[in-house]
Amino acid sequence: MYYIGICDDEPIFLKNITEMTKEILTEAGISYNIRTFSSTSALSAHLHTAGATMDLLLLDILMQGQSGIEFATQLRQSGNPIPVIFVTTTMDFALDGYRAEAVGYLLKPVQKPELKEALTRAWRYHKKQTVVLSSSSHSVSFKLDDVLYIDIYDKQLTIHMADGKNLTIAVSLNSLFSKLPKEQFIQCYRSYIVSLPAIISIWRYGIELRNHETIPISRIYYSAVQEALMKWISLQ
């Protein structure tokens, strides 16, 4: 699922770009979930909702109150890497858009070919698999190739990274699992998800990872994990 937020304080432009985005993603066979916002304050409130996630933002630059550039700059300053496509009526802010690490800069009225090109570029970035998770208090981001396993205890999700660092956030295991590529990650225990490339060996009650740590595997998941691991190996 590709989660997209579109923010514009002009209803007609918001409707048009939303419908065009749906058309492009449907034609490309990409499953999507689009939320629309009429202000950056409404968008910010959503991003700070527990379990909320966004894979891409389409931001109008010239809006009442906080501009799209200001909002994107704040995201970057807070360490949030969500890709942004700016939409505006003038090229005057192109340099500011570059500084905010935009993946696209479109002029109104937005034309479908230009929007398609920007969305395709953003989708390629998304497929590199950087995941952003947001709770009511903070956000974390990580590259899937750097994950060993994920577990949850007392409502705190922990992402265990190959460099020894742990990222913690108060979201559910299921909310994260739904965003993970199923060819790379699999549930191995009620409260554990494991990265298949991180597995060295597997036996009836445990999995050894490449950092030599051992995590549990339950009987009901054993066969599925074995099959998924063999499929992963065959594709390499």
Q: Let me know whether 40 and 74 are in one domain.
A: yes
Q: What's the pLDDT tens digit per position in 100-154?
A: 778 888 888 899 999 999 998 888 777 666 788 888 888 888 888 889 999 999 8
Same domain, residue pair 123 and 179 = no
Question: Are residues 82 and 175 located together in one domain of the fold?
Answer: no
Is 69 part of any domain?
Answer: yes
Residues 151 and 75 in one domain: no
| Per-residue tokens: 19 | 């419908």
Last residue of a domain, one of 93, 128, 163: 128
**Boundary (domain end) residue, out of 90, 106, 128:** 128
Summarize the confidence of residues 228-235 as an average pLDDT. 79
Cα 115 versus chain centre, distance: 20
Residues 181, 206 within the same domain:
yes
Cα–Cα distance between 2 and 13 in angstroms, integer?
21
CATH code of the domain covering residue 151: 2.40.50.1020
Question: Domain tally for the chain?
Answer: 2
The pLDDT score that the predictor gives to residue 43 is: 92
**How much is the average pLDDT of 182-187?**
88
φ, ψ (nearest 5 deg) of residue 60: -70, 145
Distance linking the first and last C-alpha atoms of the chain: 24
The DSSP call for residue 198 is: G
Helix 112-127 vs helix 11-27: crossing angle, to nearest 10: 60
User: What number of CA atoms fall less than 13 Å from residue 86's CA on the CB side?
Assistant: 26
Say whether both 108 and 152 belong to one domain.
no
In a domain, 133, yes or no: no
Same domain flag for 61 and 146: no
Residue 137 falls inside a structural domain: no
Q: What is the pLDDT of residue 96?
A: 67
- Read off the DSSP letter of residue 145: G
Reply yes or no on whether the pLDDT at 206 is more than 90.
yes
The answer to whether position 135 is within a domain reads: no
Is the same domain home to 58 and 84? yes
Report the percent of the chain where pLDDT is more than 90.
47
Is 182 inside any structural domain? yes
The confidence score (pLDDT) of residue 94 equals 64
Q: Identify whether residues 84 and 164 lie together within a single domain.
A: no
CA pseudo-torsion sign 19, 24, 26, 31: negative
| Structural domain includes residue 223 | yes
What is the per-residue pLDDT for 51?
65
Domain boundary among 103, 128, 153: 128
Domain range for 112: 2-128
Structural domain includes residue 215: yes
pLDDT of residue 30: 84
Kindly state whether residues 92 and 117 are assigned to the same domain: yes
Do 149 and 38 belong to one domain?
no
CA 144-149-150 angle, 5° bins: 95
In three-state secondary structure terms, 38 is coil
67: domain CATH number is: 3.40.50.2300
**Residue 55 maps to a domain:** yes
Percent of the chain surpassing pLDDT 70: 94
DSSP β-bridge partners for residue 4:
34, 56
At 228, which amino acid appears?
A
Identify whether residues 91 and 193 lie together within a single domain. Answer: no
Pick from 38, 45, 48, 46: nearest CA to 68: 38
55 vs 130, which has greater pLDDT? 55
Q: Is the pTM of this model over 0.85?
A: no
Lowest mean pLDDT: which of 23-37, 45-59, 193-207, 217-231? 45-59
For position 134, what pLDDT does the model report? 84
